[in-house]
Amino acid sequence: MPDAPRTLCGRLRGWGFVLPGLVWTLAFFLLPLAVMALYSLWQRLGMRLVTELSLANYRAFLAKSFFLESLLNSIEVTVTVTLLSILFAYPLAWILAEKVPPRWQRIGLALAVLPFWTSYVVRSYSWLLVLSEGGLLSTALQDLGLVDGPVSLANSRAGTVIGFVHFFVMLLTLTIYANLSQLPRNYRRAAQDLGAGPVRTFLHVILPLTLPGIMVGAFLTFVLCIGDYITPQILGGNRELLLPQTIMLQIARRSDFPMASALAMVLMALVTLVYLACARWLKLERV
């Protein structure tokens, strides 16, 4: 397919096209990662930056329960969010693809992802309006006589999880719907002709065929969720910290870039591990 000149001159021209983007990526993506990796091996002692290579930050990470706990919190929250989002999004995607007449599907889908278009910070703030003390939820529960005093789900893990699930249900509905709507109708008919009921058809035909859509969505959810600072900071508060909050704390409060870099490296390693574990389902290289 590449048909352009195979001469040296043509090849140089090809490089010329790629070069600007390549330089940008090297200078502002790869170099910063390398700098950060180097920083993670340095140390901040008092106000001084010690540029001697050591694993002290990583040792601190393993030794201080404060750091390990935030990693565990992050993993717990992320796994919970991923599972809940799949559970809620799958039926919605299925209803959209199967029960809604084709010409309404686009509108149904657009409506299902409408809050995507609010700004990220604003979306978390909107949940604060619903979940905080005196907010909509509290008022509604009180009016119904279900609770006595005002209740608040803000500043808690529940708040973080609700905010996250809200966003990722939209994302997963998109990926699963995309997968479902591409399934040929014949498969279902074939399964029925062969005597499978609706439940068996779903479990043995539809579900396995939509696994790629689920996996892509779940992977995206995991990566975006575990690296997010905004939602836990606004909705979860400071009572228990997730890893990105701990990282930001090192930067903003303590200006401890080396420790923050080490924690960021841990975060990156975790995401890479999950990627490698999912790689065979993701088939990203085909994209």
Partner 1 sequence: MPRALRSALPSPGSLAAGAYAALLYGFILLPVLVLVLFSFQDSRLPVPPFDGPSLRWYGAVFDDPRVMAALGHSLLVALGASAVSLLLGFLAAYGLARHRLPGARGLQLLLTAPLTVSYLIIAMGLLITFNSLGVPRSLWTVGIGHVVINLPLCFAILYSQMGGHQAQIERAARDLGAAEHQVLLLVTVPLLWPALFACFFLSFTFSWDEFLIAFLTSRFDVTLPVEIWSMLRSGLNPKTNAVGSFVFLISVALVLLLELVVFGRKRR
**Region of 57-65, 77-85, 89-97, 186-194 interacting with partner 1 (CB under 8 A):** 89-97
Alpha helices in the chain (DSSP H): 8-25, 31-39, 56-63, 65-98, 102-112, 120-131, 136-143, 157-180, 185-193, 198-201, 207-226, 230-231, 243-252, 257-282
Choice from 112, 172, 180, 191 touching partner 1 (CB under 8 A): 112
Smallest separation (angstroms) from partner 1 to the CB of 278: 12
Choice from 105, 126, 152, 192 touching partner 1 (CB under 8 A): 126
Please report the DSSP string for 95-130 in residue order.
Answer: HHHHTS-HHHHHHHHHHHTGGGGS-HHHHHHHHHHH
Beta bridge partners of 108: none
Q: Is 279 in the site for partner 1 (CB under 8 A)?
A: no
Closer of 275 and 281 to partner 1 (Cβ): 275
Find all residues with CB under 8 Å of 151, minimum gap 6, and list them: 133, 137, 138, 141
Q: Is 114 in the site for partner 1 (CB under 8 A)?
A: yes
3-class DSSP state of 153? coil
Q: Is 99 in the site for partner 1 (CB under 8 A)?
A: yes
Taking every pair of Cα atoms in the chain, the longest distance, rounded to a whole number of angstroms, is: 81
Q: Going residue by residue from 229 to 258, which x/- string records binding to partner 1, judged by CB under 8 A?
A: xx---x---------x--xx--x-----x-
User: Using CB under 8 A, which residues numbered 2 to 61 contact partner 1?
Assistant: 2-4, 6, 10-11, 13-18, 20-22, 24-26, 28-33, 35-36, 39
Structure tokens at 157: 């893990």
Q: Please calculate the CA angle 238-163-219 and round it to the nearest 5 degrees.
A: 105
Q: Is 209 in the site for partner 1 (CB under 8 A)?
A: no
Instruction: Give dist(CA 29, CA 35) in Å, integer.
Output: 10
Q: Is 79 in the site for partner 1 (CB under 8 A)?
A: no
Choice from 65, 101, 103, 119 touching partner 1 (CB under 8 A): 119
Instruction: Give dist(CA 80, CA 178) in Å, integer.
Output: 24
- How many residues line the site for partner 1 (CB under 8 A)? 80
Choice from 210, 228, 241, 256 touching partner 1 (CB under 8 A): 228
Smallest separation (angstroms) from partner 1 to the CB of 139: 4
User: Using CB under 8 A, which residues numbered 134 to 173 contact partner 1?
Assistant: 134-136, 139, 166, 169-170
